[in-house]
Amino acid sequence: MSLTAVAGCAVCMVLAAANAALPLNPPRHGGVYVIAHRGAHEAIPENTLPAYKKAIELGADFVEIDTRTTKDDAIVSVHNDKIDGYAKDVKGPVASFTLEQLRALDVGSRIAPEWKDARIPTFEEILDACKGRIGIYLDLKAASIPELVKFIQARGMEHDIVWYTGQVSELYKACPECIEMPDPGPETLLAKLLDGAKPRIVASSWKYCSKTFVEKCHAAGALVFTDDGGPKSWKPLLEWGVDGIQTDRPADLIRLLDKHGKTP
pLDDT in tens, 222-247: 999 999 999 999 999 999 999 999 99
Helix axes 49-58, 250-260, angle to 10 degrees: 10
Kindly state whether residue 17 falls inside one of the protein's structural domains: no
Dist CA 27 CA 59 (whole Å): 10
Question: Angle CA(144)–CA(195)–CA(26) in degrees, nearest 5?
Answer: 70
Kindly state whether residue 16 falls inside one of the protein's structural domains: no
User: What does each C-alpha distance from 148 to 8, 91, 118, 140 come to in angstroms?
Assistant: 39, 26, 23, 9
Residues for the chain: how many in total? 264
3-state secondary structure 193-228: HHHHCCCCEEEECCCCCCHHHHHHHHHCCCEEEEEC
Q: What's the structural domain count of the chain? A: 1
pLDDT at residue 9 greater than cutoff 60: no
- pLDDT tens string 26-65: 999 999 999 999 999 999 999 999 999 999 999 999 999 9
Kindly state whether residue 242 falls inside one of the protein's structural domains: yes
The pLDDT of 115-125, averaged and rounded, is: 96
pLDDT at residue 23 greater than cutoff 90: yes
Q: Where are the beta strands (DSSP E) in 41-113?
A: 62-69, 75-77
Kindly state whether residue 9 falls inside one of the protein's structural domains: no
pLDDT at residue 95 greater than cutoff 70: yes
Residues 22 and 243: beta-carbon distance below 8 Å: no
Full residue range of the structural domain in which residue 246 is found = 27-260
Kindly state whether residue 11 falls inside one of the protein's structural domains: no
The pLDDT of 7-11, averaged and rounded, is: 42
CATH at residue 73: 3.20.20.190
More confident residue, 17 or 22: 22
Q: What is the pLDDT of residue 128?
A: 98
Q: What is the pLDDT of residue 10?
A: 43
What positions carry a catalytic annotation? 37, 79
Kindly state whether residue 14 falls inside one of the protein's structural domains: no
